[in-house]
Structure 1
Amino acid sequence: MERGIDSFKSSTGRWLFGTLAGWGTLLLCAVGVGLVILGYRWLANMASVYEVTDQRLIVKRGLFIKSIDEIELYRIKDVRLDYSLLNQLVDIGTITLTSTDPTTGNARFVLRDVPMARDRREGLRGLVERARQKRGVREIDVDEDRGFAGWGRATG
């Protein structure tokens, strides 16, 4: 039985104070343009919800027309976290997932302005490892020039 672990959205407020783009938007608010940018950013963040279960990452998008995508955790190959000095001050970051799931099309899937990103990345990494162990998933590296590189002696 699948159980929910976490649910979150990108943080508009933390983006505003934790990124150079956010500070620029605050300056533009003085002439009114920043309010449009802020409103657009807020709507975009409200339209996306990320839910983590012990088996999947579920991405719900849309205000009027909804879409739901999911990434099976056992298919995630890498969980990367990027954050700037400003991001650290307000505790947000960008989590990038590399996955073999059809949802991502073997490309990177990016979650921007994630609150408590360091903790969420570690939690997600642990869930991915447990999901892979539960399904017996093993990763085999293949060197395109030399073929299968899983066994045999190491070459330098």
Structure 2
Amino acid sequence: MENNEILLKPAMSFAVLKILPLIFLALLFLLLAWYLSPFFVFFSIGTLAAGWYRLLYIRKSIYLVTPEVVRISRGIFFKRTDMLEIYRVKDYVITQSFILQLLGLMNLTLKSTDAENPVIWMVGIPESDVIDTIRDYVQEARKHNRIYEIN
């Protein structure tokens, strides 16, 4: 990556946190298989497979912020890449639940004037001052493209 590009990915701890309910459900199915019927093992395997897929999907999300665009790539089997011109960003919101604060992570929401992508969520990214950099990129892009906001 170049010096002015920022590559963000959801943290592994965030992905594990998101699949934790599926792991507990798989363990519950294993207990049911032990006490009731061995057929519950198949439900446990299916739940673990769904958790593994979700973990990979979260970890394969990539957010690339450049001075011109924000590029969001998601998907495992079918990849989707959305691009948002940086000058279209209107507002920035950082949210942190208690657990995310403990893990040093944050969720970043970018609100834009783009019709296709009015809201972009960057979830589970490491806590940083990326919002200041994005704000600088937005201001510079608006100045460069001669875009003025009228309220």
- In the superposition, the TM-score normalised over structure 2's length comes to 0.72
Asked if the contact 1:4–1:51 (Cα under 8 Å) also holds between the matched residues in 2, the reply is: no
- Match for residue 125 of structure 2 among 109, 114, 117: 114
1:25-104 alignment to 2 at 5 Å?
Answer: 27-28=24-25, 30-31=27-28, 35-36=48-49, 38-104=51-117
Q: Which amino acid aligns with 2:133?
A: G
Match of 2:136 in 1: 126
Match of 2:5 in 1: 5
What is the CA RMSD across the aligned residues, in angstroms? 2.6
Partner SS, residue 5 of structure 2: strand
Asked if the contact 2:15–2:59 (Cα under 8 Å) also holds between the matched residues in 1, the reply is: no
Q: Which amino acid aligns with 1:98?
A: K
Q: Gaps spanning 5+ residues in structure 1: where? A: 142-156
Distance 1:62-1:15 versus aligned 2 partners, 3 A rule: closer
Asked if the contact 2:89–2:138 (Cα under 8 Å) also holds between the matched residues in 1, the reply is: yes
Q: Which amino acid aligns with 2:96?
A: Y
Q: Gaps spanning 5+ residues in structure 2: where? A: 31-43
Partner SS, residue 124 of structure 1: helix
- In the superposition, the TM-score normalised over structure 1's length comes to 0.70
In structure 2, distance between residues paired with 1:67 and 1:89: 31
What is the deviation of 1:40? 3.0
In structure 2, distance between residues paired with 1:14 and 1:46: 9
Q: Percent identity?
A: 28
Q: Which amino acid aligns with 1:61?
A: R
Q: Which amino acid aligns with 1:101?
A: D
Q: Which amino acid aligns with 1:13?
A: S
Partner SS, residue 10 of structure 1: coil
Partner SS, residue 76 of structure 2: coil
Asked if the contact 1:3–1:53 (Cα under 8 Å) also holds between the matched residues in 2, the reply is: no
Task: Select the structure that is richer in helix.
Answer: 2
Task: Select the structure that is richer in strand.
Answer: 1
Larger radius of gyration: 2
Partner SS, residue 113 of structure 1: strand
**Matched residue count:** 134
